[in-house]
Amino acid sequence: MTEQYVVYLVREAFYTTLIVSAPILLLSLVVGLVVSVVQAATSIQEFTLTFVPKLIVIAVASVLTLPWMMEVLIAFTTNLFGQIPSLGR
């Protein structure tokens, strides 16, 4: 196993992590921004107002994107396990 191969594996792992987590993180960012704008416009400074919508959106997004996330993670893991025999050379 060469250094380039290790760098490739780490890069693929980070890329897969980024792709899998992106939908939930982006939706959480958008909801947080919208709630912050509403809070600033109405002068309501309730701390729980930011967390409850985020939790609901994250739960819904997780349920909706879970099959796709599992597909991506299974493809990555299958590819990784498929490369194990070539690592011994």
Model pLDDT, residue 45: 81
Model pLDDT, residue 89: 63
On the question of pLDDT at 74 being above 90, the answer is yes
The DSSP annotation for 36-66 comes to HHHHHHHT---THHHHHHHHHHHHHHHHHHH
26-65 per-position pLDDT tens digit: 999 999 999 989 988 988 888 788 889 899 999 999 999 9
Q: How many domains does the chain have?
A: 1
- Long-range pairs for 33-42: beta carbons < 8 A, 24 or more residues apart: none
Q: Provide the token pair at 29.
A: 């960012």
- Please check whether residue 13 lies inside any domain of the structure: yes
Q: Chain-wide mean pLDDT for the chain?
A: 91
- Please check whether residue 58 lies inside any domain of the structure: yes
- Please check whether residue 38 lies inside any domain of the structure: yes
On the question of pLDDT at 6 being above 80, the answer is yes
Q: Which of 76, 54, 57, 55 is nearest to 65 (CA)?
A: 57
- Please check whether residue 89 lies inside any domain of the structure: no
Domain that holds residue 12: 3-84
Model pLDDT, residue 88: 72
> What residue has token string 């416009």?
41
Q: Which of 60, 51, 45 is nearest to 32 (CA)?
A: 51
Model pLDDT, residue 13: 95
> What residue has token string 């299974």?
74
